[in-house]
């Protein structure tokens, strides 16, 4: 099963690191670890092949300040999320 995720980030400099399962939740891992970033909305699209349908899709963003986790909602077969 193919999962498509589109995430809009508030700043550039985001790298995709992969995905993992936490129980029935599929977690997409991103990081932004540098010191200065352009403050412009940037969208990343990721496609992964997984063995089962997730109960929910989460986005984990690691930063130098710690990080945050937010949920993606499904619209027309594509999971979408916006960095809070």
| pLDDT value, residue 37 | 65
Bridge pairing between strands 56-63 and 25-32: parallel
Helix (H) or strand (E) holding 16, with range, is strand 15-22
| pLDDT value, residue 36 | 64
> Is the full-model pTM beyond 0.85?
yes
Map tokens 């193919």 to a residue: 2
Residues with pLDDT less than 50, the chain: none
Alpha-carbon span 10 to 3, nearest angstrom: 23
| pLDDT value, residue 13 | 87
Q: Which residues are CB-neighbours of 26 under 8 A, at least 6 positions away? A: 3, 19, 20, 48, 50, 54, 56, 57, 58
């Amino acid at each position: 099963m193919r999962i498509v995720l589109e995430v809009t980030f508030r700043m550039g400099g985001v790298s995709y690191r992969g995905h993992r399962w936490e129980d029935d939740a599929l977690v997409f891992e991103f990081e932004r670890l540098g010191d200065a970033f352009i403050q412009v909305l940037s969208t990343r699209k990721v496609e992964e092949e997984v063995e089962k349908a997730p109960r929910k899709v989460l986005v984990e963003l690691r930063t130098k300040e710690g990080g945050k986790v937010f949920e993606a909602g499904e619209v027309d077969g594509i999971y979408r999320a916006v960095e809070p």
